[in-house]
Structures are given as structure tokens and as C-alpha cells.
Structure 1
Amino acid sequence: MSTWRRLLSVLMVGGLSAGVFLAVPPAAVAAPSSGSAVAQLGSNFRFGVASSGFQTEGHNRDSNWTRYGARGQVVEPVGNAVDFFHRYPEDIAHARALGVSVYRVSVEWSRVEPVPGRDDPAAWAFYDRVIGGIVAAGMTPMITLNHWVHPGWEVDRGGWNRSGMADDLIGFATKVVDRYAWARPSWVTFNEPTEYVRRELTFGGLRPQNVNRMVDGIVRAHRTLYAHIHAVQPEAQVTSNLAYFPIPGVQAFLEGLFPRRMAGTLDVIGVDQYYSVSLLDVSAAASATGDFARSSQAPEAIYYVLRHVAREFPGVPVYVVENGLATDGAGRRPDGYRRADHLRDTVYWIQRAVADGVDVVGYNYWSLTDNYEWGDYTAHFGLYTVDVAGDPSLTRRPTPAVAAYRQIIADRGVPAGYRPTRAPVLCSFVDVPDSCAHPAVVR
């Protein structure tokens, strides 16, 4: 079966059936150690916040995603998002007040090169101010070179349907690296490349017969950029974060598309984890259909993810590039889970993974503020909530998770006596059969 047909088939919601679970063959797994309940995270562990340009900046230039919005292919267009373009000093100050050491942002290709071969100095000056502001606030930038957005003129050229797209992107990204290597950032070449491919397929930016071309182009661009980054910034940490898809059989296939082909050019394994699926809550995996606020949330899922990644990519440190909880605008969910509790529970399980020998080096919360969630503003992920539809001032209002995260960072984790607010579920699909053979246990 061709790559594109396999990609489409493994991402079907029907793959969440118990039949798929039962079809997964046993694998060799290592039992967790019987070490301490939790290990406080050392001074070298990096706490951060994450964001992306298109989802927060507003005032966007012509791109594949502005066109999807203009054509009505999504619920609502991005508009001016939360206007990070003008309010970045305030958001940087909020991040600094949390005590984080990492602030993840992206540089929008469509903003700095609105027409082919002609850069906009004012756009570069904006990113100069953002990167400079992060550094001046005592934080390290984590710069994403592509977060699913490319210029409209690239769409007109054929986008990822043409092999030259990879060369164009390399040219843009090389300029970003050269301009900001002084800030000693860490780098994400491509955000969740499997999702980039899937969404381009979904919205018609990529023809099915050209999936292999896009996959190959992303891998080639990543490897080229990795070499260039290390040439100008030898100590840099470079990754391309994978979206963890907790469905048996699917995750292994997706890992084969990108991270395994990027072997030797990932200084850390970057992973994004948002939801869970188990034998008892298959119907609750609503995030598979885009309803993040109703998605199943078992906090120990991050523990299984970290164990899985450490097993599949031995010897490479792991960085949680994105993790968070979707709620409505008032911070509510049908399951009653609250952001502050979810954050503390998640950090507990990260500490447990560290205690059990997993080399986890960092954690970014998605996201600092609410933002445009690739089609609408329904799902709220922010530590600071923003009412885009009802508040023209776009006031950043702290959720209780702000104080929770500040305390976690100050204490380097949750205290030794902390117990998660939710007990582990039975046989999580996040990593079978390991989760069944060696289930997470609260100590």
C-alpha cells in the first residue's frame, strides 16, 4: 500500500476499536523500577511555554492557512488572533513572571517573505524584537522554523506537490538560523510533520499521489537544516517534534515516516502529548475527531509516552515540546478536570518517569495564552485565557494554572507527598502492551 493510502487509513477514527488493540502483537518491554515515588527535577530541567506565530500573532500575510479560512474550509478564519504582533511585550512579561526558562515561538515565512525573493525588513524587525525580548527577559527562545504555514505564493507554485518546495523552505529557514543563532536558541525544524502532511491532504493543499514527495522533502529539509544549525551554532539542540497518537499500530507507522528517518539528526526527541485512550474510554477519544475539550484525559498517559519514546529511541534525551488541556472559555470540561489539577498531575508523572530512569530534559506547556486552534477559537488551552470573540481588548486573564505552574517551577516539581487527582486507567492504549503488562502505579 502506498504511503498516502496508509497515512489516510491509519488516521481513521475506526482505528480506535478494541479489535485494533487486540491485534497488536506482544513486544519486549522493561518493567519500571521500584525507585522513589517522585524525583524532584534538577536545575538543568527546562520548564517552558509554547506558542506559534500563525495562531497568536494576527495581522497575517497571505498563506495556505489564510486561504483555508477565506474559502470557508474551517469554522472561522484566524482574524487577528490574540494580537501577539502588538502585545508580545506583555506576553513575554507573563512568561518571565512564571519563572520559565524556555519560550517557544515560530517565525512565519509568509510574513518575512511576502513575495518570492523579496524580504520585508519590517517583518524581520518584528521578530528581532520578539527574540531580543525573550533573551532580555532571561529566557531561551525555542524557535520553530515551520509550524504548518507557508506563503500563498508557494501555494500558487504548487506547494508540497513540487519538489522545489523543500529547497525554498531551506532557503527561508537558513536565513532565520543565521539571523538568530546569536540568541543560542533551541530549534524545532518542523512542528508535528505528520499532522502537517495530514492537514495539507485534508484541505487540498497536497494531492494524495504526492504524499511521498512531501514526506521526503520534509526529511531532506530537516537533515539539511540540522547540518547548517550545527555549523553556525555547534552546541544547539535541534528536534522535529512528533505528535503522539495513542492508537495501537498508528504511532509506530507515524514514527517510521519521520523520526526514524531523521535518526542521527535529533539532539532530543521532541514529543507532543494531549490525550489518552483506554479499553474503558474508547468512545471518549473525541480529539480524534477534533473535539479536544471532550477528549479523554488520563494524566498518566504522559508517563507511558515517555517510557515508549525512551524505549524506541534509546540514548536520546526526551523533551515534551507541547502538552496541555483543552477547556471551554470558563475553564470547564464535561469530565470536570481543571487545568491546574491536570498540570500538577502531569508533572507528577513526568517526575515518576525521571525516577524510573527516563532522561526527560524539558517540558513546555501549551500554551501561554489561548489562541487560534487551527479552525476556530472554541478550545481554550491557555494559562492565560483570552476571549477573542467577546473582548475587543483581548485582555489576558490568568487561570488558576498560572499560580500552579509558578509553584511547580519554583519547587522543581510537585512535592514528594503529592498524589494525582485521578487514578490510572486500565490498559491505556497509549502504549500497549506495556501499559497492561507494567501499569502505572501511584507511589
Structure 2
Amino acid sequence: MTTTRRDVLAGLTAATALGALPARAASRPAMPPGFLWGAAISAHQSEGNDVNSDSWLLEHLPETVYKEPSGSACDSYHRYEQDFAIARSIGLNCYRFGIEWARIEPEPGQFSQAELDHYVKVLAACRAQGLLPIVTYNHFTVPLWFAKRGGWEAPDSPDLFARFCERATRALGDQIGMASPFNEANIHLLVKVLRGGATPEYRAARSAMIAAAARATGAPQFSSILFADPDRIDAHLLQAHAQAYQAIKAGPGDFPVGVTLTTQAVEAVGDNSQAPAVEAMLYGGWWDAVNASDFVGVQAYTRLRVGANGLVAAPQGAEMTAAGYEYHPQALGKVIRLAATKTTKPIYVTESGIATEDDARRAAWLDACVAEVEQCLRDGIGVHSYIYWSLLDNFEWTQGYGQRFGLVAVDRATFARTPKPSAQHFAEIIRGR
């Protein structure tokens, strides 16, 4: 989960860094034909030096709520070929990543051909490793100029986003395998659900940061999605998705375009639980958007327990992740089942991960989550992927680099990539199926 909640060693190839894989793991039922095994990443969190974005400004303000700036991140802007090679060596057959709007359109209506050419090379390198490119057009960050004019609060924001999607697709569409306009299109609604638990001090700090951003840029209404009023942006985001869907489907390319959602399992606790209201708040009109698109991507990390007065804490003694929420891989099966009741569109797991310093718990997480997918398949629910978040230990928004979700460690000074034992374990899971 995000804001509240994300070089191969010298002389070594990614495959040798992983070590020799066994000929075959213990036999398990094979996944359906075409099943996608993958890992996910985002542009801002991994590429580094996204200097024209709203987040870059916010990270560097004296009043920031970010623990540290993103800086060079994992330098994936330059080292993407290494990342793809590692992904392939694990046995993955898809890779989900973002293209950065702030790089491609650094000023309104001014599109950088150099950056579009860069992403053409990225997509080609992804395919060269046998990985299906699953592209996110917007993963939270926006160009600074877009945030300065009101971000998603501006009535014409859907038109501006659709313009970007049209131009990006014109350059990249013939290489894209699957796509979504937004990552976690309902992230602002999760923020709305969780804000009730925010301390007054944090709410004040967040407001002070946005006010400082407005002063620093001379903007009358600076707005950034993770800190905006959800009720002021929801309708615009729904319209932006609809317009972006049409722009992307216009091609070139003929690939599915779907909706990825933050789908934390909502569970009732005790009598008179507000769980139904919280679930309705979390999803809003986004299931309708799913049904007007080509697929849904579920992204599950934990559960939300809801009592008569709102969110309640994890059960006493529950295991907690390094991100501060409950270790509950069973949430994945629950949200897959929820999606199956809401749509007949294909269901993909587009994110599922754990922040932990104990890599053995990451391996256990993979086992548990894949078991949830398998049980759903046995029960007749079509599930078409399992994509882990994240390939790399990367920049986790306001939490900086302190939360490690990656299958691969990244040296912050040298950018050396070192696959963890959990990467080997994931490879064995895939080989066994």
C-alpha cells in the first residue's frame, strides 16, 4: 500500500545472482494457459530524478511530510535492462511499470520526443526479455504544471489527461501488452477511509505542506492526488478514466485497457458494523468504470476491520508488517471473490506484496497469496495473473526508503541489485506450476 501503507553485482548476471535453480520444484497443479507471473514497479518510485513532478517539489519543501526525498531512487531510468533481466531470470513472463507523465509532458502541450523515444526503448527491452509490458499511464505523480493549476480538482483535468494518453499511445501503443490509465484509480477513496485515523498533527502537517507548495509555485490552488479532498476529485477522475480509455483504445495497438483498484478486504467486527458503508466509500463508482473497461486489477495488502464506530485495530497479537498494517495474505482471496461478484470482466492480481525485513516472511507471503489464487481458480473464479509488488526495494512515498517490499535489494550508493532468497523462492513457485 502507498502513502499510508510501497546494478546487478559487478561481474554477475541476474541469472547467476539468483543461483542455480532446481530442475523442477515439487509438482503442483499447473496454472491456466496464459497465466501471467509478474512483478510491478512505478516510474517515480524507481526511475529517480523525476524533477518535473508534483511529488519532487513536495519531497523537498521544508514543510514536507515525506521522510526523505526520492532522489535517484533505484536509477531504473538507466538500469531498466538489468531489472528486466532479473525479472526474466526469476521466471516472470510479464512486468508492470509506469511511464512518467511529468517527463513526457514537462510543460502543458509540450511533449518531449526524447522521452517518448526513451520509453520506446524501454518497451522494446521488456519484450526482448520475453516479458509482456503492462503499462500504467499515471501512478499518482503528475507534472508540476498540472498540480499548480489545481490538479484533478480542475474541471478540464480529464481533457488534459486524455491528451497525454493519446500522445503517449501514438508513440508507444504498438509495443504495449496491457494497460491501465491509473494505478489504484480509487486511491483517493482509500485515503478518505483512512483519514479518520489520522492524528490532528498529521492533518495539520499535510495542510501546511500543500500551502507551502502553493506559495512556492505562486499557485492559487495547488493540488496533489494523495493530499487532495477526495470529494473534489472523484468525479473528475472517473471522467478522466473514461476519456483516457477511449484515447488509448484508439491505438495504435490492440491491447486490453483496464482499471486497477486498491482492494483491501473490508471486514465487519461486532454489531452495527459500518463495514458496508466503508466498502461503498472505498469503491464509489469504480465498479461501473470496471464494467465499461476490459479488465480489473485487484491490489490487496491487508484487511480493514470495521466496527460500529469505524475502523478498529488489528486483533491483539496479530503479526504486523513493516508498513504498520496487519499481515493478512488471506485478503487477496477475499478481494478476488469480491471482484467476481461485481464484474464479469477478467480479474488480474496486479499488486500483492509485503514490507518486511524478514525475507522468510516474504517467501511465506508468496506461498499464501499464490494459494489464495489457486483456491479461487479451483472454485471456478477466473484469475489471470499474480503480480508481486515489488521487484525492487524502492521509494515508498511519504515513508521514503524505510519500507522494503522488494524481491531484490538495491544498494542506495551504487544501485547494485541483489536478489533476495524470496526471489529464488518465487522462481521455484513458478517452476512448480
What TM-score do you get using the length of structure 2 for normalisation? 0.77
Contact 2:409 2:420 in 1 (8 A): yes
Q: 1:211 to 1:301 in 2, by over 3 A?
A: closer
Q: 1:151 to 1:246 in 2, by over 3 A?
A: same
Contact 2:321 2:356 in 1 (8 A): no
Contact 1:107 1:144 in 2 (8 A): yes
302, 309, 312: which one aligns with 1:275:
302
Which letter maps to 1:186?
A: M
Query: What is the SS of the residue equivalent to 1:110?
Result: helix
Sequence identity percentage: 30
Q: How far is the alpha carbon of 1:104 from its aligned partner?
A: 0.8
Contact 2:161 2:244 in 1 (8 A): no
Higher mean C-alpha displacement, 354-363 vs 178-187: 178-187
Task: Measure the CA separation in 2 of the matches of 1:285 and 1:269.
Answer: 30
Q: Which residue of 2 aligns with 1:146?
A: 138
Q: 1:43 to 1:164 in 2, by over 3 A?
A: same
Q: Which residue of 2 aligns with 1:316?
A: 345
- Cα deviations by residue, 1:24-75 (Å, 9 ceiling, x for unpaired): xxxxxxxxxxxxxx85312211111100000000021222111210112211
Which letter maps to 1:410?
A: R
Q: Which residue of 1 aligns with 2:362?
A: 339
Q: Which residue of 2 aligns with 1:78?
A: 70
Q: 1:316 to 1:218 in 2, by over 3 A?
A: same
Contact 1:238 1:265 in 2 (8 A): no
Q: Which residue of 2 aligns with 1:58?
A: 48
1:188 correspondence with 2:209: no
Which letter maps to 1:394?
A: F
1:356 correspondence with 2:375: no
Q: Which residue of 2 aligns with 1:227?
A: 246
- Cα deviations by residue, 1:155-197 (Å, 9 ceiling, x for unpaired): 2222222112221111111111221221142011111122246
Q: How many residues align?
A: 364
56, 62, 69: which one aligns with 2:59:
69
Q: 1:309 to 1:175 in 2, by over 3 A?
A: same
Task: Measure the CA separation in 1 of the matches of 2:418 and 2:253.
Answer: 40
Which letter maps to 1:377?
A: Y
1:217 correspondence with 2:236: yes
1:109 correspondence with 2:101: yes
Q: Which residue of 1 aligns with 2:161?
A: 169
Higher mean C-alpha displacement, 46-55 vs 251-260: 251-260
Which letter maps to 1:252?
A: A
- Cα deviations by residue, 1:360-411 (Å, 9 ceiling, x for unpaired): 01111111111100121111000101243xxx11211111111111122222
Higher mean C-alpha displacement, 181-190 vs 245-254: 245-254
Query: What is the SS of the residue equivalent to 1:144?
Result: strand
Task: Measure the CA separation in 2 of the matches of 1:55 and 1:256.
Answer: 27
Query: What is the SS of the residue equivalent to 1:92?
Result: helix
Task: Measure the CA separation in 2 of the matches of 1:273 and 1:402.
Answer: 20
Which letter maps to 2:287?
A: P
Within a 5 Å distance, the mapping from 1:17-416 to structure 2 comes to 39-71=29-61, 72-196=64-188, 203=206, 204=210, 205=223, 211-232=230-251, 235-247=254-266, 248-249=275-276, 250-260=278-288, 262-276=289-303, 283-284=313-314, 292-313=322-343, 315-328=344-357, 331=358, 338-375=361-398, 376-388=400-412, 392-412=413-433
- Cα deviations by residue, 1:284-310 (Å, 9 ceiling, x for unpaired): 389xxx975342123222111211111
Task: Measure the CA separation in 1 of the matches of 2:136 and 2:122.
Answer: 13
Task: Measure the CA separation in 1 of the matches of 2:191 and 2:117.
Answer: 30
Q: Which residue of 2 aligns with 1:29?
A: none
Query: What is the SS of the residue equivalent to 2:82?
Result: helix
Task: Measure the CA separation in 1 of the matches of 2:107 and 2:432.
Answer: 48
Task: Measure the CA separation in 2 of the matches of 1:227 and 1:402.
Answer: 37
Q: How far is the alpha carbon of 1:92 from its aligned partner?
A: 0.9
Q: 1:175 to 1:382 in 2, by over 3 A?
A: same
- Cα deviations by residue, 1:342-376 (Å, 9 ceiling, x for unpaired): 10121011101100111101111111111100121
Task: Measure the CA separation in 2 of the matches of 1:116 and 1:206.
Answer: 17
Task: Measure the CA separation in 2 of the matches of 1:406 and 1:360.
Answer: 20
Q: 1:211 to 1:253 in 2, by over 3 A?
A: closer
Which letter maps to 1:339?
A: R
Q: 1:52 to 1:209 in 2, by over 3 A?
A: closer
Task: Measure the CA separation in 2 of the matches of 1:218 and 1:45.
Answer: 30
Q: How far is the alpha carbon of 1:138 from its aligned partner?
A: 1.3
Contact 2:38 2:386 in 1 (8 A): yes
Task: Measure the CA separation in 2 of the matches of 1:70 and 1:344.
Answer: 39
Which letter maps to 1:218?
A: L
Task: Measure the CA separation in 2 of the matches of 1:190 and 1:56.
Answer: 17
Q: 1:84 to 1:206 in 2, by over 3 A?
A: closer
Contact 1:229 1:236 in 2 (8 A): no
Task: Measure the CA separation in 2 of the matches of 1:209 and 1:298.
Answer: 29
Root-mean-square deviation (Å)? 3.0
- Flag structure 2 segments of 5+ consecutive residues without an equivalent: 6-27, 196-202, 211-222, 267-274
Q: How far is the alpha carbon of 1:210 from its aligned partner?
A: 6.4
